[in-house]
Amino acid sequence: MTNVNNLCNAEERAEILAWLSPLDPRIRHGDIRARRVKPVGEWLLGTGRYKNWYNGTHLGKSHNSALFCHGDLGVGKTYIR
């Protein structure tokens, strides 16, 4: 696999990266954080099952495991702390 840094200059690299991902994750994250409402997701974060996952004690699984949260559009998944 060829490293993009070896194929182009800094300006071209910036243009390529902007084309690949036109969204700035920091701006999106900041916007979402600013619009969060305190109680959204508190029910989930307070459950023993979540706490066990967070502490890495759920069924002996690694504390580095991923948590997948699914649900219908507009139910608040993005806004859970």
Predicted confidence at residue 14, as pLDDT, reads 83
- DSSP for 27-61, please give it: HHHHHHHHH--TTTTHHHHTSHHHHHHHHT-GGG-
Same domain, 58 and 21: no
Same domain, 8 and 18: yes
Same domain, 44 and 79: yes
Same domain, 31 and 43: no
Predicted confidence at residue 60, as pLDDT, reads 62
pTM as predicted:
0.46
59 pLDDT band, cuts 50/70/90, is low
64 pLDDT band, cuts 50/70/90, is low
Closest CA to 69 of 48, 53, 55: 53
Number of domains in the chain: 2
Q: Residue 12: helix, strand or coil by DSSP?
A: helix
Tens of pLDDT, residues 8-21: 888 888 888 888 87
